[in-house]
Structures are given as C-alpha cells and as structure tokens.
Amino acid sequence: MPKLLLLDGNSLIHRAFHALPPLTNSQGQPTNAVYGFTNMLWKLREEEKPQYLAIAFDIGKPTLRTDQFDGYKAHRPPTAPELKSQFALVKDIVKAMNIPILELAGYEADDVLGTLVKAGESQNYEVVVVTGDKDLLQVVGPKTIVKICRQGIAKLEVFDQEKIWEKYGLKPEQIPDLKGLMGDASDNIPGVPGIGEKTALKLLQEYGSVEEVLEHLDELKGKKIKESLRENREKALLSKKLATILCSVPLESHSWEDFLNGGEDKEKLRSIFSQLEFSSLLKKLNDDSPVDSVPQEETFQTISSLEEFNQVKKDVINKKSLALQVDMDVFNPMEARLLGIYFTSGEETYYLPAGLAEGLRTILADCTVEKYGHDLKYQMVLLQREGFLLEAFSFDTMVAAYLLNPSQNKYPLEDLTARYLLQGGKSTVESIYLLQKALKEELDKLKLGELFQGVEMPLVPVLAGMEREGISIDREYLANLSTLLAEQLDGLEQTIYGMAGEKFNINSPKQLGVILFEKLKLPVGKKTKTGYSTNADVLEFLKNKHPIVEHILHYRQLIKLKSTYIDALPKLVNKKTGRVHTYLNQTVTATGRLSSSEPNLQNIPVKGNFGKEIRKAFIPNQKDNYLLAADYSQIELRILAHVTGDEGLLEAFKKEQDIHASTAAEVFDVPLNDVTSEMRSKAKAVNFGIVYGISDFGLSQNLQVAPKEAKRYIESYFAKYPGVKKYMEETVANARKVGFVTTILQRRRYLPDLDSSNHNVRSFAERTAINTPIQGSAADIIKVAMLRVDKGLREKNLEAKMLLQVHDELILEVPERELEEVSRLVQEAMEGAVPLAVALKVDVQVGKNWCDLKK
C-alpha cells in the first residue's frame, strides 16, 4: 500500500524553535527552527520512506474561524522576530527538496491536511500525519495515523484509533465534541465554564456528542454543570465548530505525481545549507550523493624515489604554490614521529614518505613558493623539531575560517569544504588548495584580509616556536611543596573532623551536606536532585554561620592547587625536552585573545600564598638565564579612553595620573589628594566594571553595597566621563543595526542575540557589544607586539626567546648579558605596537622564576 506523509509545517517549526537553543550563522541569522525542522524532515523521510509527501502551512488571519469568533487565537503573542525570519528559509529548503507546499487563504493548515487525508484514503493510501497539535487526532481513521511531537521534536507519540480509545474512551470524530465542552486554552476556544477534561469525557462517553448532551440536560447530575450547559449552549456549539477540521476545502488541483517523494535539487540545498552553516547537514547531503561523485578513498600517488620526486618538484616550483598536510603517528606534535607529507599544487595529490621528506627541504625553505595548510601551527611544531626551515607559509584555512566566524567552537576541514566549496569527498590537501582561494575572497569581501595577512598568519610560526620551546619547571621544588601541602591538608582535615564531631569524606558533597545541614543545622540553601548543594556560593553564604565553613573553603582551595597544579605539572613534562609545552590556541576565543591548554598556563594562580609559590616553580630553561615579564599597564582602560575619546579619561592618562584614584576623585567629588584607599578600590571596580558593561546589580555584588549606591557610582562616573556613556549607547545601536562589532584592527564579532526577545540574553549581548571592541583591541595589540618582539630578536640575532603569552603579559627567557638590551627592545616593541590617543605603558620585570620578578 503506497504511503502518504503529511506534515503540519507551522506546528513543527514552532516545536523546533522552542526545542533547540538559540542558534545563528556567522551573519547573525537565527537558524534553530530551520535546523530542527530540516533534521526532522530528513529523519522522517528516511524512516517513513513515503511514496508521496506534502507540507501544509498557515497563511494567517483572517480565517473562516476568526470570522465566526473574534477571540479565536486572539490571545497569542506576535511571532518572535527571530522565529519569523526563519519561515522563508524553511520554505526555501522544502522547495529545494521538491516537496509541495500547500496553503489556502481563509483556512488553516489543519483544514488543508484534513482534506489531503481524505483524498489519500480515497486512493487506498496509508496516511501518516506529523504535527505538534492534538486537534488533528480527529482525522485518524482505519488507514490514517497521527504522530504528535513529544519532548520538543525528538520523540513522536503515535495515535491510531485504538490508542485514542485507550487514552480518551472516544472515537477520533468525537475530538471536536471534547473541545466543544472543555474548550482549548491554546486556541482561545471558550468551551463551557466549569467543565474540564474529566467531566467532558464522562459526558461524551455517555451521550456521544455535544448536541446529545444538550438534548439530555434534564438527565444530568450536578446542578452547576447543568446550569452552565444551559446558559452556554451556543458557546458549546460554536466551540465544537471552531475545533472541527474541514476536510473538503477547495485546494488547487494537483495530480499525485506532484506529491512524489524525491528528486531534490542538491546544489540548491548545498547553497542554502552553506549559507546557514549547517555543516552536519552538508556532510549528510554529500554522503547521500551518487557513488560516482564521491571518492571511496583518498586519491593520491605515493612517491617511491627521489628521482620521481624531482620530476614533481619542478611542477611545484613552477606553480609557486603548495598545499600540504603532515602525517604523524600521535596527536601531540612534541612527541610525534613524522610519517610523511601529503601535498598538491592543484592537480595531482602526492604522498611523500618520511624517508624521502628531505626532498621537500628546499621547497619548504623557498620564499617564492607559497604554502597552504589547515592548522599549520600544529604541523610547524613537528617540522621545526625535524630541523626544516619553513618559509612562505602564507595561508591557514583554519585561521581564515576563524576570522570569518570567531564564535564557532571548531573548524573541521570537512565542514569548511562543505560550506565554502559546496562539495565533499575531496582529499585533504586538495580541499585545502581549493579552500585557500574561496576563503581569501571571503576575507577580502569583509575587509579582513589585512588583519589575516598582517597579524594572524605571521603569528602562526611565532606561536609554533613558543610551543616548541616550552618552559622548565622545578620538579624537586614542586615535590617539596606537595609534601608541605599534604601536611597542611592533614591538619585541616583533623580540625574539620573535630568541629564536625566525626570523620567523613570532605570531598563528598552528599556527606558534607549531611554534616552541615542535618548535624550542624546550618540554614539550607538550594538543593540538587542528589541532595544538598555545597557549591562555592553556598559555602560563601555560610562562611559566617559556623567556623567549620572557613576551614572547608580553605581545604577545597588547597586540594585544587595540589591536584591541578602542584601534582599535575611534573607529570606533563616532556621526556625528551624536560619542559612543559602548552598549546597556544589561536582560534578559540571570540574576542581574538589567545588561550592556553594542556596545560593551561594562563590560569596559574596569582593571588594567595600558595598561588605565588606555584609560580616560583617556573624557571628558565638554561640555568644561567633569567625570566623577563613585560606587562601592559591598564591596557583596556587606555583603549577605552581611545575609542570613546572622552576628554576626562584622555586627560588623566596624558597627565600619567593614577587612573583609579583619578576616577575616585571624580566619582566621589573629592580632591585627588583626599582619595582614600577604599575610594580607589571602589573606583577600580567601577572602571573595570564599565569596560565589561556592568549593571547596577553586578557592581553592587562586586562591592558588597546596596544596588542604589552602586547605581549612584555609575551615574557619577557617566556624569564625569560622558564620552564613555555616549560610546556605549552608540556601539550597541550600531551593532544592532549591522549585526557585529569591530576592534581597532577591524576584527569582527557577530552578535545576533542583540535582537533576542529574551531580556537576559539580549542584555548579555549588549554588554558583549560594549566590551568586545575593547578586549578584542587589546588582543590585537598584544599580537602585533609579539610580532614586533619576535622580529626584533631575530634582526639583532639575540638568544632571548618568547615562552608564554598570558593575557596582557609576555614571558621571555633571556641570557644575563642580553637583559638590558632585551628589556629595552621588548618595552619599545610593545609600547609602539599600535598608535593610540594615549600612550601604551609596559612594565618590565626580571627574575630567576616567575614569582620573584623585580624591576
């Protein structure tokens, strides 16, 4: 029996929208409803395998039902803008899949579906209707089932005649009678006051229909129900009429061939999925391509001799370009062994085994041959370890994709190939070679080419060098520190056990909760599914309620330091180099800042006695060398002065005043000399809070003052620095207009949530719009500074090396004889990185470890 699959378009789009978190593409277009709907449609086609398929949509008011009752669906709020913009996209996808879209002015999608159900049944088809609306249960019949979305769009509940009888004790055709009596709040169908589902079902199971119930009012028990039915007779009949699906509406004439499933336009779908950045759907589409269009395995030619390679080499040198991908045996490039190199110059793809890799040495060092790759830094580390000189590595497809869409988590090559090349199945290096051109065009179109070529690409080899260099740690010192900490923890345990009156597992939230809230009777805060919450916020609240809490907080702090740093760092030392090698991630943060991982050396504690003690473990790689730290002073506040042009801020920096004291003088309206340390501390919180778009409540939490007082601080700040307030307002307004914000070097960050209907989501986006140009510009500046420092060290042939970048600070290792020259070079390079309206200031300190640094 042929199968006809019918979908309730509006209902499923709404389900998808509310089931999925907010999703957008890099241009700010909301996509969650489109993504959810398309996935569901795809899944249904695969699972149901219908011969015929159609989707019905509502056109909107007026309809036959609004003519009958003004209040029909009148209470529904307007469609959210972020959902409204997705309907046309869904229809574009449906059309590209060659699925008929049916809609009829004056009628609802339910009526269209009801009509199609009857037409399908008349052809002896098996009919399946998928919807999120139970109204359609009334069309269920011997050949028709209805599947209702449950749990968003992830699960479907199947209703046939038997299931409806089991659940309601009714036949499908009685569903409108049920709505006639009990009403329907979602559609604003009034029903009969005082009659709910239970009563309505009981009446219908006895009398069969609204009309029969009304005919037998005198037999009914219950005075109130009887009176309500008598008084609302017309309302009950109208409600049933409103709930009844029309199954004979005048649809445009179609032949069943129009409803045949299949024959989608894959190129059009690729274009739409690419625009919306649906990488998984693109991959699925490519996987579903005809077999002859997708290679079943990598197509490359293995080079077996130097003579053979020399013939290929001439072609590479003539083409002046080379895409490559290093083949290694393990993921970590500091421990990996080179197995070979894949490469292409645009036509044939080759594999050069490691034994012949020497043949590539001259090409890799040739400045006239441009090299392209994906995640080049990762490969450079291994190639540098193998002693290759690397020049003209000019295009990294991962870095380019990151600049185009910095909010994405990852940039897999297959996703980029599907999106920008609208194809799959290419070999890795062939994809890279083709992507280079496509991504370059996108960068130029968005005016990101200069940032890419001038900053991000030159930084790749610099970061690779820093990763390869690594940093030494004093393992013996850490071992002694671990022993000392273990003794302190043991003492803390005994103190906590004594206060608790028993031994228990302090690291067990469940056992700790019992001690705090049941035995010691401390006030219970929030509870979790597994018991009492004992997170940091709860313990901070309880700190003054019992002395045991202070000891538990201290215990947790020491346990974390010991496990995360003191005991963990020695295990991460590379056996070959004797150093710790972090990954400096260039394509992770949305602001453009670098991040550090495995281990995260940007997160080594600064405060507290043991935090400082951990930093003492970081030492120069060479015994007679020193560590040099160069740190930008208040860079974000200087950028704030530059981008706002506020005269008060500019003046304070030009006079080289203490900016926090200066702000305190303005906010608290006192002479600069009368600013107290408490005033300065509060002003500092205001200064940095303003940079991050802080609210009155947020500042009150930071300063532990009343929101009213925090509001007064912010208002005083804006009164004294009006340029800052103007900047904030104009930045948010412009971002809302164009969809993104930019840094000093034109780095973009897209902010689609500025138009969110959710206040909290929208407010966060507004704060992000204010902060990103400042934090992102700081990222731009320190990246330029790193390039200038690296260039200066190389030009002067100095032995000093950059080891780490930690937010606004650079850490170098410097021989004693070079300290004076390198200090001057680094300071000049960093202070002159990017010209601002106020001077950039850099503090340089030197020491034998990362903690004991002095000017």
Same domain, 308 and 434: yes
pLDDT beyond 60 at 796: yes
Q: What is the pLDDT of residue 153?
A: 59
Confidence class for position 830, pLDDT limits 50, 70, 90:
very high
Q: How far apart are CA 722 and CA 647, in angstroms?
A: 9
Q: What is the pLDDT of residue 297?
A: 44
Q: pLDDT of 482-506, one tens digit each?
A: 999 999 999 999 999 999 999 999 9
Average pLDDT over residues 223-251: 87
Q: What is the pLDDT of residue 151?
A: 57
Same domain, 347 and 388: yes
Same domain, 46 and 109: yes
Cβ burial of 75 (10 Å; 0-12, 13-18, 19+) is exposed
Same domain, 480 and 460: no
Minimum mean pLDDT among 143-147, 209-213, 254-258, 591-595: which range? Answer: 254-258
On whether residue 225 sits in a domain, the answer given is: no
**Beta carbons within 10 angstroms of residue 12's beta carbon:** 24
Q: What is the pLDDT of residue 428?
A: 81
Average pLDDT over residues 828-836: 97
Same domain, 344 and 400: yes
Average pLDDT over residues 637-653: 94
Q: pLDDT of 348-365, one tens digit each?
A: 899 999 989 888 999 999
Minimum mean pLDDT among 6-15, 353-362, 416-425, 749-758: which range? Answer: 416-425
Q: What is the pLDDT of residue 476?
A: 95
Percent of the chain with pLDDT over 90: 51
Q: pLDDT of 771-785, one tens digit each?
A: 999 999 999 999 999
For residue 661, the domain's CATH number is: 1.10.150.20
On whether residue 852 sits in a domain, the answer given is: no
Torsion-angle region of residue 685: left (phi > 0), alpha (psi -120 to 50) or beta?
alpha
Q: pLDDT of 243-275, one tens digit each?
A: 899 888 888 777 777 788 877 888 888 889 888
For residue 113, the domain's CATH number is: 3.40.50.1010
Percent of the chain with pLDDT over 70: 96
For residue 451, the domain's CATH number is: 3.30.420.10
pTM of the entire predicted model? 0.75
- Beta strands 144-150; 155-159: pairing state: antiparallel
Q: What is the pLDDT of residue 425?
A: 55
On whether residue 762 sits in a domain, the answer given is: yes
Same domain, 311 and 429: yes
Same domain, 134 and 56: yes
Instruction: Say which residue the tokens 């900053």 belong to.
Output: 455
Q: Which residues of 439-457 are buried (b: 16+ CB within 10 A; e: fewer)?
A: bbebbeeeebbebbeebbb
**Per the structure block, which two tokens stand in for 72?**
């029909």
For residue 489, the domain's CATH number is: 1.20.1060.10
On whether residue 800 sits in a domain, the answer given is: no
Cβ burial of 521 (10 Å; 0-12, 13-18, 19+) is exposed
Q: pLDDT of 655-681, one tens digit each?
A: 888 889 888 887 888 888 888 988 888
Q: How far apart are CA 750 and CA 773, in angstroms?
A: 12
On whether residue 176 sits in a domain, the answer given is: no
Residue pair 804/466 in contact (Cβ under 8 Å)? The answer is yes
Backbone phi and psi for residue 717, each to the nearest 5 degrees, phi listed first: -60, -50
Q: pLDDT of 13-61, one tens digit each?
A: 988 888 777 778 877 788 889 998 998 898 888 888 899 999 999 887 7
- CA contacts within 13 A on the Cβ side of 370: 14
Range of the domain at 545: 472-578
Average pLDDT over residues 192-218: 87
On whether residue 835 sits in a domain, the answer given is: no
Instruction: Say which residue the tokens 């002065």 belong to.
Output: 641
**Among residues 414, 442, 464, which one ends one of the domains?**
464
The secondary structure of residue 563, as a DSSP letter, is I
**Among residues 713, 744, 770, which one ends one of the domains?**
770
Same domain, 421 and 496: no
Residue pair 71/238 in contact (Cβ under 8 Å)? The answer is no
pLDDT beyond 50 at 474: yes
Same domain, 128 and 112: yes
Q: What is the pLDDT of residue 293?
A: 32
Residue pair 138/175 in contact (Cβ under 8 Å)? The answer is yes
Q: Is 491 helix (H, G, I), strand (E, B) or coil?
A: helix
On whether residue 78 sits in a domain, the answer given is: yes
The residue among 81 and 335 whose pLDDT is bigger is 335
Q: Is 142 helix (H, G, I), strand (E, B) or coil?
A: coil
Confidence class for position 426, pLDDT limits 50, 70, 90:
low
pLDDT beyond 60 at 316: yes
Same domain, 490 and 392: no
Instruction: Say which residue the tokens 């034998």 belong to.
Output: 848
Q: What is the pLDDT of residue 231?
A: 86
**Among residues 259, 281, 303, which one ends one of the domains?**
259
Average pLDDT over residues 715-728: 91
Minimum mean pLDDT among 323-332, 585-594, 708-717: which range? Answer: 708-717
Q: Which residues of 403-428 are buried (b: 16+ CB within 10 A; e: fewer)?
A: bbbbebeebebbbbbbbbbbbbbbbb
Same domain, 443 and 402: yes
Residue pair 522/546 in contact (Cβ under 8 Å)? The answer is yes
The residue among 325 and 105 whose pLDDT is bigger is 325
Query: Is the CA virtual torsion 322, 327, 330, 334 positive or negative?
Result: negative
Same domain, 353 and 333: yes
What are the residues whose beta carbons fall under 8 Å from the beta carbon of 842, sequence distance 6 or more? Answer: 630, 631, 632, 633, 826, 827, 830, 831
On whether residue 68 sits in a domain, the answer given is: yes
Number of structural domains (the chain) is 4
Q: What is the pLDDT of residue 533?
A: 85
Q: What is the pLDDT of residue 290?
A: 40
